[in-house]
Structure 1
């Protein structure tokens, strides 16, 4: 069904762990809040497994739907994002090779969008901090969808915003739930091995290949 030799009309990028290698800092921020502030008896790896979707979904998975009021969820979310940005700011950088890859795609008239479960506060922190907004023809954030990944809504909205059919898009992801979202949208996917091992992606038929960074020569077939 999926062929690495096709020429996509659009690239859809997840953000965290896919354009920047920052998932450790999200996990550290949540781990501190969950264990130190909220008293959860969780180890780091257990917290890491919950690092997908919107903040309120993360809290609901770990603590249950009725633990926090809406005001508490909002306060915890803001606290988490501030901790994340403070921790990651000194390390803010695109994954190796991505700067050249974005420029190459722009020159090839390939449209590009971000489809992320991050809130605009964090997306702005990255795209403006790294001066890459001019590459993006659309951005779909957590605030733009009703249901997070693995639901296909994020990537379907990104494709629609570009005016490109899903079958003509290529998703870049770093997480199994994101790959599943692309699969549900019937979009092929390239996986960044920044956050998860290749074994964790077993069973997803839409994966064209795995890369450590954007210097990988297998990406040359996309242009």
Structure 2
């Protein structure tokens, strides 16, 4: 930990790649749709780079703003989430050590929230599928915000829902855009290296450290 004196009063979790290791399944679902259904010649690595924000934002970044009607966007989004859930369900699991970490935080009466660009359909799939709703004091989804990460709205709304100041929150993230969102919200961040290499986070001054999962001994410093 960079700042050994920081004792957060709340934990804010991104979901995908942070509480669960599922980003590969999101990428595979979009890759399937973009190449097989939509005839794109994008390679897998190019699709992976677009894996942030709301579904319509992903489509707009890849194909342009006026390519699809709202009805087509909704249809493609539903199909993408269907393929994602079907692919990931057999492997649905919390990251190693997270269950124990959630227990410790709950016992220490540290409020916790999810701040994610996922839609409620996918958040419920994870939260209820893994029976972790009782740990959470708030959930902010894609449907709750106007602006996606790296805008700070998601994490600021999560902090407000908990009644905790931004400066007292610690964000757990796995993506550079999420770390930037936390920075814009005035929040410190711990990075899970499930999806991106450490080198991809160069230049973010709000990162306290990097962990591969929640068994990392550095987390003991938070309590």
Alignment of 1:36-185 (within 5 A): 36-185=36-185
Q: Tell me, in whole angstroms, the C-alpha distance in 2 between the residues paired with 1:89 and 1:129.
A: 9
Deviation per CA, 1:57-86, whole angstroms, max 9, x where unpaired?
A: 000000000000000000000000000000
Alignment size in residue pairs:
222
**Structure 2 unmatched ranges of 5 or more:** none
**Structure 1 unmatched ranges of 5 or more:** none
Following superposition, which runs of at least 4 residues in structure 1 exceed 4 angstroms of deviation? Answer: none
Q: Alpha-carbon deviation of 1:164?
A: 0.2
TM-score scaled to structure 1, two decimals? Answer: 0.99
SS of residue paired to 1:31: helix
SS of residue paired to 1:190: strand
Q: Tell me, in whole angstroms, the C-alpha distance in 1 between the residues paired with 2:157 and 2:45.
A: 32
Q: Tell me, in whole angstroms, the C-alpha distance in 2 between the residues paired with 1:44 and 1:202.
A: 24
Q: Alpha-carbon deviation of 1:4?
A: 3.8
TM-score scaled to structure 2, two decimals? Answer: 0.99
SS of residue paired to 2:155: helix
SS of residue paired to 1:172: strand
SS of residue paired to 2:112: strand
Aligned to 2:9: 9
Q: Alpha-carbon deviation of 1:41?
A: 1.1
Superposed CA RMSD: 0.6
Q: Tell me, in whole angstroms, the C-alpha distance in 2 between the residues paired with 1:35 and 1:53.
A: 20
C-alpha change, 1:35 and 1:179, in structure 2 (3 Å) is same
Q: Tell me, in whole angstroms, the C-alpha distance in 1 between the residues paired with 2:194 and 2:113.
A: 20
Q: Alpha-carbon deviation of 1:102?
A: 0.2
Q: Tell me, in whole angstroms, the C-alpha distance in 2 between the residues paired with 1:220 and 1:96.
A: 15
Q: Alpha-carbon deviation of 1:6?
A: 1.1
